[in-house]
């Protein structure tokens, strides 16, 4: 059988990738074409994303992909959520802000002053995160000059095709989507004095957004359609998480660990609000009932600080194996402590939380981080189970974290549940499966798509000890 090929643009908070994925004989295989660094850049007015560089890398990566695989049929784009670019007359008004920028505090106060959080939660179903788009909009002085506000994947799709849309899974992270109807909550938008005219038409994953603008088609070397996928990276990751039953929880672990369940209906109870669980929209109208836990961010920022101190690159596998030797009896800290959110000296901030319990050597300090993340994962799985009244019998851990065996084992040990790790590239796989399905090259239901993933990517199993 000839393979059907698709291109995935998958942007994470620390790196972006362009990948080719091929479907043939009931398998889906990946080829990495280009990986490029990403991260916060400090400007005079705060933390931003280096958007021009990202876009250039995407276009160059797509051109490479088409050179390697002329049979590519379409392009899908996913990224982290909540951040956006403002457009006026089709031009970007400013470089998009990074969600870790700390300018949003007054926005939170203003929004909650107008719509108390309990009401907000009943309307949008979102956990409180200080960077949710609606808080960012409130403090963005340029919003009044804009004629469109596009989340990052939608912004890229617009620059590629010329069409402005809001893909629904990611739109659900703005806080402005009605959790019950999945439409813009126009009354909420009005109460918050956000100009409704900046909110584009909503589209579902699988919709053809448009075809490449002629000048980009010429650079990339093909006249390809851009198809909306689960453009929120976590939505794409959940598509390709090989959940086998309603009793499986998932952890999509990269910079963040997104811990939760896939549900048919939102849970917006007082208890869910108090536990800070979110009801983000998944592909095919499923609900991603989950909680954000600080994931590998804590480790990568720590390693970054140590590397700056040493002036050399740290061998991470070596550090983790040394950490494995130290034993699990290390002090724990709250991985979700708000003081750990911004970039900066992570070891010092963690040490401040641990006080005189802080381990002195780097391996034990690393172990403390890994065990604290795992403990937060286990707590979130338990909370998801209690809040949704569902028994959980296994955890699927996907994304970059699935390669960290110390973290996978610690999560199994602390939750008392088997952890099934992988695929590491769940997000890119989910991105492509939705494109392939839209083009008739993959089966119709999420369950069938997940069976395709389990056939191709056998998970690594960690039993609780």
Residues assigned a catalytic role: 233
Torsion angle, CA of 169/266/249/365, rounded to 10 degrees? 80
Min dist CB 423 to ligand LFR, Å, is 16
Give whichever of 111 and 296 is closer to ligand LFR, judged by the CB atom. Answer: 296
Instruction: Kindly state the tokens that stand for 307.
Output: 């590397």
Q: What are the phi and psi torsion angles at 5 (to 5°)?
A: -120, 145
Min dist CB 23 to ligand LFR, Å, is 25
What is d(CA 392, CA 78) in angstroms, rounded to the nearest whole number? 29
What is d(CA 160, CA 218) in angstroms, rounded to the nearest whole number? 12
Give whichever of 166 and 319 is closer to ligand LFR, judged by the CB atom. Answer: 166
Residue 111's DSSP bridge partners are: none
Min dist CB 311 to ligand LFR, Å, is 30
Stretch that binds ligand LFR, among 23-31, 156-164, 249-257, 449-457 (CB under 6 A): 249-257
Q: What are the phi and psi torsion angles at 154 (to 5°)?
A: -70, -35
Min dist CB 459 to ligand LFR, Å, is 21
Residue with tokens 């039993």: 463
Total residues contacting ligand LFR by CB under 6 A comes to 13
Min dist CB 218 to ligand LFR, Å, is 32
- Contacts with ligand LFR, 1-40, as mask; x by CB under 6 A: ------------x---------------------------
Residues whose CB falls within 8 Å of the CB of residue 127, separated by 6 or more in sequence, listed in order: 276, 277, 278, 291, 292
Give whichever of 128 and 306 is closer to ligand LFR, judged by the CB atom. Answer: 128
Assess contact for 149 and 138: CB atoms under 8 A: no
Min dist CB 1 to ligand LFR, Å, is 34
Q: Which of 258, 298, 335, 434 binds ligand LFR (CB under 6 A)?
A: 258
Q: Which of 84, 97, 256, 289 binds ligand LFR (CB under 6 A)?
A: 256
Give whichever of 51 and 80 is closer to ligand LFR, judged by the CB atom. Answer: 80
What is d(CA 321, CA 385) in angstroms, rounded to the nearest whole number? 32
Min dist CB 258 to ligand LFR, Å, is 5
Q: Rule CB under 6 A: is residue 135 a binding residue for ligand LFR?
A: no
Site residues for ligand LFR, window 281-320 (CB under 6 A)? 292
Q: What are the phi and psi torsion angles at 115 (to 5°)?
A: -125, 105
Give whichever of 96 and 363 is closer to ligand LFR, judged by the CB atom. Answer: 96
Instruction: Kindly state the tokens that stand for 328.
Output: 């699990």
Min dist CB 334 to ligand LFR, Å, is 18
Q: Which of 6, 99, 121, 137 binds ligand LFR (CB under 6 A)?
A: 99
Stretch that binds ligand LFR, among 35-43, 231-239, 242-250, 381-389 (CB under 6 A): 231-239
Residue 442 CA from chain centroid, whole number: 23
Stretch that binds ligand LFR, among 190-198, 252-260, 264-272, 457-465 (CB under 6 A): 252-260
Give whichever of 81 and 426 is closer to ligand LFR, judged by the CB atom. Answer: 81
Give whichever of 98 and 367 is closer to ligand LFR, judged by the CB atom. Answer: 98
Q: Which of 234, 236, 368, 385 binds ligand LFR (CB under 6 A)?
A: 234
- Contacts with ligand LFR, 45-84, as mask; x by CB under 6 A: -----------------------------------xxx--
Stretch that binds ligand LFR, among 64-72, 115-123, 238-246, 253-261 (CB under 6 A): 253-261
Min dist CB 153 to ligand LFR, Å, is 11
Residues that bind ligand LFR (CB under 6 A): 13, 80-82, 99, 232-234, 254-256, 258, 292
């Amino acid at each position: 059988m000839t393979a059907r090929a698709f291109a995935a643009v998958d942007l994470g908070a620390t790196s972006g990738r362009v990948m080719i994925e091929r479907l043939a004989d009931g398998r889906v295989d990946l080829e990495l074409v280009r990986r490029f660094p990403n991260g916060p850049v400090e400007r005079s007015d705060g933390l931003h994303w280096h958007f021009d560089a990202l876009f250039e890398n995407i276009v160059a990566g797509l051109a490479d992909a088409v050179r390697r695989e002329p049979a590519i049929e379409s392009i899908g784009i996913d990224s982290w959520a909540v951040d956006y670019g403002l457009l006026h007359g089709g031009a970007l008004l400013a470089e998009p802000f990074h969600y870790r920028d700390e300018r949003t505090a007054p926005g939170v106060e203003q929004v909650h002053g107008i719509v108390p959080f309990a009401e907000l939660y009943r309307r949008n179903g979102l956990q409180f995160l200080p960077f949710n788009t609606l808080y960012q909009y409130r403090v963005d002085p340029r919003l009044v000059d804009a004629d469109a506000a596009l989340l990052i994947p939608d912004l890229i799709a617009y620059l590629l095709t010329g069409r402005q849309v809001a893909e629904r899974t990611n739109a659900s992270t703005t806080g402005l989507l009605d959790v019950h109807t999945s439409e813009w909550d126009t009354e909420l938008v009005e109460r918050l004095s956000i100009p409704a005219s900046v909110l584009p038409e909503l589209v579902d994953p699988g919709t053809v957004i448009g075809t490449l603008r002629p000048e980009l088609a010429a650079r990339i070397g093909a006249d390809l359609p851009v198809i909306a996928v689960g453009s929120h990276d976590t939505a794409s990751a959940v598509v390709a998480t090989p959940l086998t039953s309603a009793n499986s929880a998932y952890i999509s672990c990269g910079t963040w660990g997104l811990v939760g369940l896939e549900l048919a209906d939102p849970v917006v109870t007082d208890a869910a609000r108090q536990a800070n669980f979110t009801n983000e929209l998944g592909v095919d109208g499923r609900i991603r009932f989950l909680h954000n836990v600080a994931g590998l961010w804590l480790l990568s920022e720590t390693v970054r600080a140590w590397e700056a101190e040493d002036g050399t690159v740290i061998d991470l596998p070596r550090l983790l194996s040394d950490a494995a030797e130290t034993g699990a009896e290390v002090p724990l800290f709250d991985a979700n402590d708000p003081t750990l959110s911004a970039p900066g000296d992570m070891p010092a901030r963690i040490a401040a939380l641990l006080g005189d319990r802080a381990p002195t050597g780097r391996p034990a300090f690393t172990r403390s981080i890994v065990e604290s993340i795992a403990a937060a994962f286990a707590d979130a799985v338990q909370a998801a189970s209690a809040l949704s009244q569902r028994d959980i019998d296994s955890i699927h851990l996907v994304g970059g974290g699935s390669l960290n065996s110390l973290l996978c084992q610690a999560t199994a040990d602390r939750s008392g549940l088997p952890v099934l790790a992988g695929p590491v590239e769940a997000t890119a796989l989910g991105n492509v499966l939705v494109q392939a399905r839209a083009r008739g090259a993959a089966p119709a239901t999420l369950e069938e798509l997940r069976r395709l993933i389990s056939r191709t990517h056998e998970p690594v199993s960690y039993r609780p000890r």
